[in-house]
Structure formats: C-alpha cells, structure tokens
Structure 1
Amino acid sequence: MKTLIIRLLDEYSAVTQKSTSFVCKMLDCQVRTIPTILEWAAQEERILLTHDVSTITRYAYDRVRLGQTMPGVIEVSPDAAVGRVIEDILVLVECSQDGELEGQVQYLPW
C-alpha cells in the first residue's frame, strides 16, 4: 500500500508538473533514527509521509524549534482507508504551494 501511494504521487507529480518535494521515498526505519530521517527529508526538500503518528511529531517540532529546516510531515493513521488517504494527499498536493507545509505536521485522514 505504501508503494501504491508513492507511485500515485510520482505519477501525479509527472502529470501536473507539481513540485517533486511532495514525492516520497521509502526509508528503512529499522536502521535509521527519526532525526536522521528528518534530516534526510530536509536535505532532499521532501515532505515525509509516515504512519508513525506516535513519535515523529516531537522530533519534527524539535527541528522547527531549533531553527532547522523541516519541509513538512504528513502523518497517516495506520487504520485509515487507503482510498481516503490518497484522496486527502492529492487535495493537499493540489491546494498547497511549494514550501507551504514548511514546519508543519498534517494528519490524515482529515
């Protein structure tokens, strides 16, 4: 399911020519710490899409508090219906401008 969302975002980005900052890449969270993942996302100017709704928020806002770049986090409830989440992500992508999610954590589904 995660791959489906990423492919959908890749295709959406290619078709609409929207910023690739919304396109996510999967990282192996078992071998990386959350601060490392957020640092990678910041360096790549990527918004992080995650199911980790219990811990990422704190680290994301720590980066903001410390004045570090944090392009944004989209936290998706693990119990959410995939179709609904995809629709919400597409609305978020379509209605947001580059950099608009900087320093923010969004929770899906809405």
Structure 2
Amino acid sequence: MLSLLSDENFNGDIVRGLFLRDPSLDLIRVQDIGLRTVDDAEILAWAAVNERILLTHDRATMPDFAYARLTKAEPMAGMFVVNDRMPMRQAIDELLLLIDYSDQAEWKDIVLYLPL
C-alpha cells in the first residue's frame, strides 16, 4: 500500500471517497499535521522525509517544485497530479488502482498526471 499526503486544496470529497472504499488507507492531509500555511517547497520536503507521495490538483506550480527538487538531486517520494475536472468517481477509481497495485518505490522521483 502506498503512503500518501494530500495538499491543502486537494478535493476533500475524493479523500472521503478513498477512505470509504478503503478504510485502512495510509493517507494524511497537510491540514492534519500543521502544514496548512507552509509553501509548496516545504510540503514537498516534508513528504520526501516522510516518504509520502503527494496528491495535488495544482498543475500550475507544484510540479515545478518537484522538478526543482529532482534537478538539485533532492529526494522526492512521488507526486500524483489529479486533474480537478476529472469526475470524482474516476479519480477515486484511478487512485485506488495505483494504491492497490503498485509499490511506493515505483513512484520515487516521478510526477504522474491523472487521468491515466
């Protein structure tokens, strides 16, 4: 199972839907760990140290911060950029597919855009 971190603006309905489908899900929100007001670079640094793949809708800036980390040879656990116009059921289904059928190490240093 993957270890995930959702950023501040990630759709809460998707998070709730993921937990409804898989109550044992290893997902925490930045709001739950006191990172709500920190910048994107700090969130990515925390995710890297704690080996959590970041869930985000932020296609505009978050991937740039991820690529900057990679350019500086800094670790990154991975990032799933979920299109915010994607139907909620499809987003949940695709995320659960990734969670259930892949390993954490597969996503190291990878930025994946959903839909698949």
**TM-score w.r.t. structure 1 length?**
0.79
Q: How many residues align?
A: 104
Can you give the 5+ residue segments of structure 2 that lack an aligned partner in the other structure? 1-9
Structure in which a larger fraction of residues adopt strand? 2
**Within 2, Cα distance between the matches of 1:53 and 1:103?**
16
Which of 86, 89, 95 aligns to 1:89? It is 95
**Within 2, Cα distance between the matches of 1:40 and 1:94?**
24
What secondary structure does 1:57 align onto?
Answer: helix
**TM-score w.r.t. structure 2 length?**
0.75
Which of 17, 22, 29 aligns to 1:25? It is 29
* Aligned residue number for residue 11 of structure 2: 2
**CA displacement, residues 55-110 of structure 1 (integer Å, 9 cap, x when unaligned):** 11111011112111100011011111110000110111122112110000111112
Tell which deviates more after alignment, 65-74 or 5-14.
5-14
What secondary structure does 2:107 align onto?
Answer: coil
Tell which deviates more after alignment, 56-65 or 29-38.
29-38
Pair 1:12 & 2:53 matched? no
Identity %: 31
Which structure has more RCO (C-alpha within 8 Å, separation ≥ 6)? 2
Contact 2:30 2:36 in 1 (8 A): no
Aligned ranges 1:8-87 → 2 under 5 Å: 8-9=18-19, 12=22, 14=24, 20=26, 23-27=27-31, 31-87=37-93
Can you give the 5+ residue segments of structure 1 that lack an aligned partner in the other structure? none
Contact 1:24 1:49 in 2 (8 A): no
What secondary structure does 1:14 align onto?
Answer: coil
Q: CA RMSD in A?
A: 2.5
